[in-house]
Amino acid sequence: MIEEQFKKLSETLEAGCQKHIAAGGTITFGAFCNKEEKTCCPIWSSIDQEAVALLPLDNDVDRMHSGLVKALGFKISKLDILSFCAGFDGIANSGGDKMCHNLGNTFREKFIAKEEEVKDGSELE
């Protein structure tokens, strides 16, 4: 990914997170979006969720990819998006863009205030 695209990705995700938080939501990891609890990951907070819900796609990863490409105005690979998600979720990079993975780590440190886990590794609510 070239520097200008990376900067646009970072700015778009930051703006989406800030908008979601300003609307009373929380940025979360491990899930895309929960409207009832007002939680979203950075990517879902940055895309037009209503528009992607109408797309004839089979899964949320494809919807997330399509929505982010539209929001950015340029193509980004699914692997790079998933690399960001892995970084944000605290998972090791599995071959995606290292800058995207590191950006995910940065967003995790910035937006996840507290993490609690039980012994089996699942989240506490």
In contact, 84 and 43? CB cutoff 8 Å: yes
pTM for the structure as a whole: 0.83
More confident residue, 32 or 63: 63
**pLDDT above 70: residue 115:** no
Predicted pLDDT of residue 114: 55
User: How far is residue 38's CA from residue 25's CA, in Å, rounded to a whole number?
Assistant: 5
More confident residue, 31 or 85: 85
Burial class (CB in 10 A: 0-12, 13-18, 19+), 93: middle
Which sequence spans correspond to the domains of the chain? 3-29+36-111
Sheet containing 26-27: give its strands across.
Answer: 26-27, 39-40, 33-34
**pLDDT above 80: residue 123:** no
User: Where do the H-state alpha helices sit in the chain?
Assistant: 3-22, 42-46, 49-53, 60-72, 78-89, 98-111
29: confidence class by pLDDT, cuts 50, 70, 90: confident
Predicted pLDDT of residue 118: 34
Give the whole-number percent of the chain exceeding pLDDT 70: 90
Predicted pLDDT of residue 113: 66
Element (H, E) at 27: strand 26-27
